[in-house]
């Protein structure tokens, strides 16, 4: 149970605080004992709150083309190349470069080597994989429901098969 809660934080300080807070709330409701269901409930609540506060805030000001760029990145396994993104969004290199620079300046992505970019925060990967264009529902509605519990950060970012 402890490792599930710890892994759910993905090492992010705000998530550590949120998981701790919700574990405390669950323990208070259960006479200061925690079971597997309490830990799961706390983790889901923490991840939902993180998505609402951090991810939705960061994504609130981006354009549709920025979002399309991030969708294309989420569909790749690991860091994305400009060529991969350009093919996915059907754009020329100068357009890809423009949106790459905008998203780096916004702190959503970072350079991952020559011609490559990657997400700054794993939660962005999860959000875009969970809210891909092929899936139903808009981003805000899906974030309000919260992300699925993930036991640990992913080693691979391959696109979800069920999208």
**Three-state helix/strand/coil letters over 17-71:** HHHHHHHHHHHHHCCCCCCHHHHHHHHHHHHHHHHHHHHHHHHCCCCHHHHHHHH
Quick: pLDDT tens for 75-130: 888 899 999 999 999 999 999 999 999 999 988 889 999 999 988 865 555 555 55
The radius of gyration of the chain from alpha carbons, rounded to an integer in Å, stands at: 17
Q: What is the pTM of this model?
A: 0.56
**24 has a pLDDT exceeding 90:** yes
Q: What is the DSSP string of 92-143?
A: -HHHHHHHHHHHHHTTSEEE-STTEEEESSHHHHHHHHHT-TTSSS-HHHHH
**60 has a pLDDT exceeding 60:** yes
Domains with residue ranges and CATH for the chain:
2-59 (no CATH), 64-141 (1.10.10.10)
């Amino acid at each position: 149970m402890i490792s599930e809660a710890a892994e759910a934080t993905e090492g992010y300080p705000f998530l550590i605080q949120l998981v701790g807070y919700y574990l405390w709330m669950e323990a208070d409701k259960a006479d200061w004992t925690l079971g597997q269901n309490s830990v799961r409930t706390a983790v889901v609540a923490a991840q939902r709150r993180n998505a609402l506060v951090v991810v939705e805030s960061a994504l609130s000001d981006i354009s549709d083309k920025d979002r399309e760029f991030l969708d294309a990145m989420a569909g790749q396994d690991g860091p994305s190349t400009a060529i991969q993104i350009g093919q996915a969004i059907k754009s020329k290199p100068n357009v890809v470069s423009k949106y790459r620079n905008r998203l780096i300046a916004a702190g959503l992505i970072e350079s991952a080597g020559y011609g490559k970019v990657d997400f700054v925060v794993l939660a962005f990967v999860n959000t875009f994989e969970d809210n891909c264009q092929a899936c139903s529902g808009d981003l805000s509605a899906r974030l309000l429901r919260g992300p699925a519990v993930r036991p640990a950060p992913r080693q691979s970012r391959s696109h979800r098969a069920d999208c």
